[in-house]
Amino acid sequence: MNAPQRVAAAVMMALAVTGCAAKTEPTPPEPSAGGGSSVPVPTIVAVPVPPPTQPGFWYVDPGQVCQRFVMSLYSADTRRDARPGDAYRRAMRFASGTLVGQSAAADHDGRWATWTAHRAYIQALVTPFADVPPAAAGGITARRACPVNAPQVGERGWRSRTEHSVVYCDLRRGGAVGPGWRVTSYEIRLAGLR
């Protein structure tokens, strides 16, 4: 087996071990300068892997999915989490596969060092927001919102200012996003600090 074949075999093995499936599709021939035709080379395309699920949760109500997503997103706890992105990874149980791929960015939170010094956690209160209209029956997209009050509480009475935000969730039902309703994108609007 030559070096390019070993590399291709290693890539296919890595995809198989991580649960990705590979599918080959021919690429269109490139025009050549000499007027001859070129041989098509197969392209490897990774097939999306379904996102993780929360055991015992059925994903049937978009409002509940949004509320659980937001609660998980605001569940940072330096006493049990190794890094700030752990809360984001827990929230991915309620999100689409597209959001799962963005988890690396969640590990960069400038507040983490301060929270760790105080062994702090977020004591979040998340409630559904009644002003967003429900999805039409049989629809496959929905939008929900949840207000969040998120004080950071630490040992020896340490407290940071409470963040007041509204999180807007865009959701989609079924298909490649996973079983039931899943958050496909979200927006956090800061309502203030007190």
Residue ranges of domains in the chain: 3-47, 62-193
Mean of pLDDT over the chain: 78
Q: Where are the beta strands (DSSP E) in 101-180?
A: 121-122, 125-126, 141-150, 152-153, 163-173
pLDDT number for residue 17:
39
pLDDT number for residue 10:
44
* 121 vs 14: which has the higher pLDDT: 121
45, pLDDT greater than 70: no
Identify the residue whose tokens are 């979040």. Answer: 124
Fold of 62-193: Nuclear Transport Factor 2; Chain: A, (3.10.450)
Dihedral sign from CA coordinates of 100, 150, 54, 132: negative
52, pLDDT greater than 70: yes
Percent of the chain beyond pLDDT 90?
46
Confidence of residue 156 (pLDDT cuts 50, 70, 90): very high
